[in-house]
């Protein structure tokens, strides 16, 4: 195992966090291309993409079968499957692994849905510690505009409708996302996220992320 990384594997684990609509995927895609251009191996893992579990989660959501504990455990199972079959193998191979959301998403969503944060942290206690965590902070008003422009509607679960915050989906979205942002603020301090203004142009945000990643690469964290 490599001694210069936070998790001990030969590769780097880099996380981009934020609420839905914050621009995470855009930044992950841009960073992935940058890393590949630097001739480093790069792998990307996105939230809820396990071939084993993601279909189960989607079906349960469609049928409105998820209570808060089932919600937590299914997403933890999805992460565990990706960790064992995608993330750790890539880290062992010396790749830069980019995470489009990480365990902090679970910390936020599960605690907002009523679980004790320490219970959630214990659930993910086996997770490798990232080498860098970027957090894109975007106000609720901007998120609503972005998501409606992108999808035309607001997502049922991203609006917290499953936990009965409000019968009005826009009001529910605002309440839920504000609570999520409050939790991210706590986590940002606790885990020393590199917090970025997600309202800025994607290219401007990318330059900051790129500089931080290049600094880590230049330090010899991986060879």
Q: Please, what are the domains in the chain?
A: 12-215 (3.40.50.300)
Both tokens assigned to 179 = 């609570």
Answer for the pair 97, 87: CB distance below 8 angstroms, yes or no.
yes
| Spatial distance between the Cα atoms of 101 and 84, rounded to a whole number of angstroms | 17
Give 151's contacts (C-beta < 8 A, 6+ positions apart).
none
Q: What is the pLDDT along the chain (223 residues), one digit of tens a residue?
A: 455 788 999 999 999 999 999 999 999 999 999 999 999 999 999 999 999 999 999 998 888 877 889 999 999 999 999 999 999 999 999 999 999 999 999 999 999 999 999 999 999 999 999 999 999 999 999 998 998 888 888 888 889 888 888 989 899 999 999 999 999 999 999 999 999 999 999 999 999 999 999 999 998 778 6
Answer for the pair 30, 36: CB distance below 8 angstroms, yes or no.
no
| Spatial distance between the Cα atoms of 31 and 34, rounded to a whole number of angstroms | 5
Answer for the pair 220, 8: CB distance below 8 angstroms, yes or no.
no
Q: How many residues does the chain have?
A: 223
Phi, psi of 199 (to 5 degrees): -85, -10
Can you say whether residue 169 is alpha, beta or left, with left for phi > 0 and alpha for psi between -120 and 50 degrees? alpha
Exposure string over 185-204, b if 16+ CB within 10 A, otherwise e:
eebbeebebebbebeeeeee
Burial environment of residue 211 by CB neighbours within 10 A (0 to 12, 13 to 18, 19 or more): exposed
Q: What is the pLDDT of residue 162?
A: 87
Q: Of the candidates 127, 110, 135, 183, which has an alpha carbon nearest to the alpha carbon of residue 13?
A: 127
Neighbours of 142 (CB within 10 A): 14
| Spatial distance between the Cα atoms of 58 and 51, rounded to a whole number of angstroms | 12
Tell me the whole-structure pTM to 2 decimals: 0.93
Q: What is the pLDDT of residue 24?
A: 96
3-state secondary structure of 124: coil
pLDDT in tens, 138-197: 999 999 899 888 888 888 888 988 888 898 989 999 999 999 999 999 999 999 999 999
Q: Of the candidates 49, 165, 47, which has an alpha carbon nearest to the alpha carbon of residue 106?
A: 47
Q: What is the pLDDT of residue 182?
A: 97
């Amino acid at each position: 195992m490599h001694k210069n990384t936070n998790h001990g594997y030969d590769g780097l684990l880099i996380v981009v966090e934020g609420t839905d609509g914050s621009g995470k995927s855009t930044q992950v895609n841009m960073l992935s291309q940058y890393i590949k251009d630097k001739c480093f191996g790069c792998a990307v893992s996105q939230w809820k993409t396990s071939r084993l579990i993601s279909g189960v989660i989607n079906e349960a959501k469609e049928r409105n079968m998820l209570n808060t504990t089932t919600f937590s455990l299914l997403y933890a199972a999805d992460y565990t499957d990706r960790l064992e079959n995608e993330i750790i193998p890539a880290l062992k191979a010396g790749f830069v692994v980019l995470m489009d959301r990480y365990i902090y998403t679970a910390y936020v969503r599960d605690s907002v849905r009523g679980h004790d944060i320490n219970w959630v942290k214990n659930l993910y206690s086996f997770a490798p510690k990232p080498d860098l965590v970027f957090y894109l902070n975007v106000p609720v008003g901007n998120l609503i505009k972005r998501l409606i422009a992108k999808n035309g509607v607001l997502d049922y679960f991203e609006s917290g409708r499953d936990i009965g915050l409000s019968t009005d989906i826009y009001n529910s979205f605002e309440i839920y996302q504000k609570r999520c942002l409050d939790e991210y603020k706590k986590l940002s301090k606790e885990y020393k996220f590199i917090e970025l203004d997600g309202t800025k142009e994607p290219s401007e945000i990318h330059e900051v992320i790129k500089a931080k990643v290049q600094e880590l690469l230049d330090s010899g964290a991986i060879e």
